[in-house]
Amino acid sequence: MTDALLQHIVRMPLDNPGPRPAAVVPCGSCRRCCQGNSIVMLLEQEGDLIESYQHEFVNLPGAGRGPILKRTADGDCVYLGESGCTIHDRAPVVCRVFDCRGAYSAFMTHPRPDRRRMVKSRAVDPEILDRGRALIEGEPR
Ligand code: SF4
Ligand code: SF4
């Protein structure tokens, strides 16, 4: 089941090609999407110029080998700087469209046991979901 969910998450952008609207998220000082070994898939079919990014190919569940942004040994994106993203004007499409509020809302549509499994298997990052929930509920940053 967990494998199926993970594959579903990975395949979502592949099976539903864009264009997608850019997200406007009040991230403030949050950098969670760029940390914690987050996987940022590069989507050539949606305009990402793979060779223009520091990248590596990894096994993506349900999608074979695919390119993702490189991460440092600490699990940060290699493009994360002191003040945030250092390639903001050319960030890959996944970075531009991701909204943790939508991710949290989609996550909550799953039954509780599936949600537990997703968190336990790290198919989703609970800190990103928690940030999405906090933004929806208007918690102070
Ligand atoms: S978790 Fe949400 S608030 Fe934090 S960086 Fe990602 S999109 Fe922005
Ligand atoms: S490219 Fe920029 S926005 Fe995307 S994960 Fe890296 S630092 Fe974050």
Looking at this protein, which amino acid is placed at residue 141? R
Q: Give the global pTM.
A: 0.90
Domain range for residue 33? 2-98
CA dihedral over 118, 122, 124, 127, signed as positive or negative: positive
For residue 108, tell me if it sits in a domain. Answer: no
How many domains does the structure of the chain reveal? 1
For residue 127, tell me if it sits in a domain. Answer: no
* Cβ-proximal residues to 41 (8 Å cutoff; 6+ apart), any chain: 10, 13, 60, 66, 67, 68, 92, 94
For residue 75, tell me if it sits in a domain. Answer: yes
Task: Output the CA 113–ligand 2 centroid distance in Å.
Answer: 31
Phi/psi for 112 (5° steps) reads -50, -45
Task: Output the CA 29–ligand 1 centroid distance in Å.
Answer: 9
**Residue in 128, 3, 11 with CA at minimum distance from that of residue 66:** 11
pLDDT digits over 32-90, tens only? 999 999 999 999 999 999 999 999 999 998 889 999 999 999 999 999 999 999 999 99
Q: Which atom of ligand 2 is nearest to the CA of 79?
A: 7
